[in-house]
Amino acid sequence: MKKTARILLPLLAILLTAALLAIPAAADDAVIFISDEGTGDGSTPASPLGNAPEYATWSTDAYKSSAINLAIAKLAENGKGGTVVVVGPTTVRWGRQNENDAKSASEFRFSPDLLDAGLQFDFTSVYNGVDYRETAGATIAMERTATQALTYEFRCNVSFNNILFTINNAADANILAPKRGIPFASYGYKVYVGEGVDTEVYLAGNKLEPTTDNLQYYFAALGGPRYSNIEGNADLTVLSGTWGSVSGGPGGFGGNNYGHLTGNVKVEFGGTAVTLGGFNGGTENTGGWISGDVEALISGGKIYGPVTAAGEGGFEGNTSKVRLTITGGDFTECEGVFDYGVSPANNLPGYTLLDYSAADGVTSYVLKELIIGFDEVLAGDPTQTPIVGPGGIPDTTAAPGGDTTAAPDTTAAPDTTAAPDTTAAPDTTAAPDTTKDEDIATAPTPDTTKAPDTTKAPEKTAEGGNNTGLIIGIIAAVVVVCAIVVAVILSKKKGKKD
């Protein structure tokens, strides 16, 4: 018996040690830590990945050598993507720009090269209980000048949660879309802005307040491209942060050459997000168009400016259907809820529907005075009368129906079978962007059937990941060893009795 124990007990110890070592080792390729100061391989917060030397000076492809794109490339090697944790200031100063572009857009692409459309990359600054925004000043900082009028363009599926964006505009910074914002263009990929996202904006070193007068210095979220024509479905979700504007479709310009999306649009605005310049279910500007349908949802947030369900630019044909569903949100500063823009350069939609039947009483009370247009409107429950405060303003601290002890319930799931609304007047004062884009090609069509689930950790994480099969196998081996030990002991005891 003693001899058997001397053999089996060390074996048991080896198996248990393997269980402890195998889990983190299998997860290293699913999480990468990045920072400007990084000199490591990105495997731990203490050894973050930094910019490559090639990112120190401008070149047409310098953006590929940034810490962000090096992390994306490294994660792409596992065929699944993963999580990028920003653990310190991470600066973006060079984008994709042609040699002869003097003062024009320089697009920083999130993706060094065209990747598999199914890969998912999740950005955050909160990981394993540590908020690196507080402990290390973590931020993704954009440096904008006249010759590097940076924009963001996503060439992969991404999500952002608990991230600070910083935009530093030099005094001569070229603002590409006055009264709309700096393009934050999804390019037809799935972009999900979840909780805890914020933006700080500076002009010549002075911090700007998030007001409608400063909206052009904030990001303009786009579900499509800024300055290209693509085939693919747009899928944009914005649930936090302050934005110059939010549009489900492409940018588009006064001319009708760019901003074409051959596909459908799905967009949601809600949570704690704020848009200073309005919300468009479809295109941002008058020149763009969409070939398919638009499904827009406003589930919360606050909207300054107009809401246009179909957007400003119109559609390729006249058979597209537009559905705007509103279940919540603050519309007290909204200029109107319109079916489409005032002077689209393309076809009007074939059908527009506004459904706010699931909205609470306070939201319904405000909305009914703002609605203009639409082929069909599904209104809220007329019995849900809001509590009216001084001056006839709805008391948003009280629940509809007379219960003054609770806030209105805005958690109801939206009915996405209804159509949207589109009527805000487009801003036609902005000069068309005449910059070049060498890549006016077809983007890979991402899977837009569902938004990225950012409530779950990646399949593999630095803290453990998906090692269920490995753990079960090790446990089974341990059980077998223990069973052998017990069998030997019982056999010995039986031999003694005999």
Model confidence at 205: pLDDT above 50: yes
Query: What average pLDDT does the segment 1-12 reach?
Result: 48
- Poorest-confidence range of 39-43, 309-313, 482-486? 482-486
Kind and range of the H or E run holding 283: none
Per DSSP, the residues of 149-190 read EEEEEESSEEEEES-EEEEEE-TT---SSTTT-EEEE-TTSE
The Cβ of residue 411 has, within 10 Å, a number of other Cβ atoms equal to: 10
pLDDT-based confidence at 382, cuts 50/70/90? low
Q: What percent of the chain stands above pLDDT 90?
A: 56
pLDDT-based confidence at 68, cuts 50/70/90? very high
- Poorest-confidence range of 8-12, 275-279, 357-361? 8-12
pLDDT in tens, 438-493: 333 333 333 333 333 433 333 333 343 444 444 445 455 444 444 544 444 455 54
- Poorest-confidence range of 117-121, 184-188, 219-223, 425-429? 425-429
pLDDT in tens, 320-358: 999 999 999 999 999 999 999 988 889 999 999 999 999
- Poorest-confidence range of 32-46, 289-303, 387-401? 387-401
The widest CA-to-CA distance across the chain, in whole angstroms, is 102
Query: What average pLDDT does the segment 91-101 reach?
Result: 79
Q: What is the pLDDT of residue 280?
A: 97
- The answer to whether 252 touches 312, Cβ cutoff 8 Å, is yes
Q: Decide the pairing of beta strands 294-298 and 376-378.
A: unpaired
Kind and range of the H or E run holding 218: none
pTM over 0.85: no
Query: In which residue are the tokens 């720009």 written?
Result: 97
Query: What average pLDDT does the segment 157-161 reach?
Result: 97
